[in-house]
Structure 1
Amino acid sequence: MLKGFKEFILRGNVIDLAVAVVIGAAFTAIVNTIVSSIINPLIGLVFKASSLDKALIWTVPAIVPHTDPAQFKFGAVLGAVITFLAVAVVVYFVFVLPMNHMRERAAARAAAGLPDPEVPPTETELLIEIRDLLAAQQRTE
């Protein structure tokens, strides 16, 4: 049971996913800071509100007596859309665009018949080569 768990945890894609989650959380903090420090003050200038959460609020009087009026917070929705677009822009320009560029270069190299840049041997390949050299050396002695 522990062996299976260890294999699961040490898989490359699980580690990559964990790194992506941590970087995503850190990136969310950056985007939230940009929205609260730059975008919200700009909104405050336009809508006379301290943030989008307090801007563009439509209040409907209560129908039932002794209840609070309903508030539709369109500014909060607009803030969420702006935050999403900021994240999407950064993800596109930092991750997607460079990856697409690398794929295009690889496809162009393949179409031109150029070999891929030499990839260094893996540790396993090196260990196999060392083992074979040692075995050949022992046979000659």
Structure 2
Amino acid sequence: MSEKKESVLAGFRAFLMRGNVVDLAVAVVIGAAFTNIVNSVVKGIIGPLVGAFGTKNLDNYTSCLKGPCGVDPKTGDPIGVNILWGSVLNATLSFIITAAVVYFLMVLPMAKYLAKQEAHRKAKEGVKETIEITELEVLKEIRDTLVAQRNGANGDGGAQGSPFSKG
């Protein structure tokens, strides 16, 4: 049973040591820090802009489904059925801003960079192929010219003295 335990631990250690897990851990930490920035933007900029038409705190936007709605002053518990759509709006705005920032500041530049690298690689391969084809064509022309010169100089169709003839 200890052999199985060791192999499980060895497998787990191998899993943790893969580059993917470390990259994922870094991404989670950066994402958590980035979430604080986005939440601050929503709370400090978007909230007040929306607040110009109502309240500054988006969480205060509610609708009463079953009334009367409010807060019991004695216990502090909510009364009635409140739909807290302001909280949903706040979370939606945070998500949209996060997605936009990630797309425009990370995904789009990386895609452009990779496309540029691919185009550069293809151009480099295309130049190499062109040079090889050109060299091959030049060698064929030299061969054809030599064959034509020997055929014309001998007058016998190039059978004698030709490096391409078998006799």
The answer, yes or no, to whether TM exceeds 0.5 is yes
Q: 1:54 maps to which residue?
A: 60
Q: Where in structure 2 are there 5+ consecutive unaligned residues?
A: 1-5, 69-77, 127-167
Q: 1:42 maps to which residue?
A: 49
Matched position secondary structure for 1:61:
strand
Query: 1:14 and 1:72 mapped to 2: Cα distance?
Result: 40
Map 1:1-141; keep pairs closer than 5 Å: 1=6, 2-47=9-54, 49-55=55-61, 57-62=62-67, 68-114=79-125
Query: 1:89 and 1:20 mapped to 2: Cα distance?
Result: 17
* Deviating more after overlay: 13-22 vs 33-42: 33-42
Which portions of structure 1, spanning 4 or more consecutive aligned residues, are displaced by more than 2 angstroms?
1-6, 60-63
Query: 2:20 and 2:92 mapped to 1: Cα distance?
Result: 30
Query: 2:103 and 2:66 mapped to 1: Cα distance?
Result: 43
Matched position secondary structure for 2:56:
coil
Larger Rg: 2
Matched position secondary structure for 1:69:
strand
Q: Where in structure 1 are there 5+ consecutive unaligned residues?
A: 116-141
Aligned length: 110
Letter in structure 1 aligned against 2:59 = D
* 1:111 positional shift: 2.4
* 1:87 positional shift: 0.3
Matched position secondary structure for 1:46:
coil
Letter in structure 1 aligned against 2:66 = P
* 1:114 positional shift: 4.7
Query: 2:89 and 2:115 mapped to 1: Cα distance?
Result: 36
Matched position secondary structure for 2:79:
coil
* 1:62 positional shift: 4.1
Matched position secondary structure for 1:50:
coil
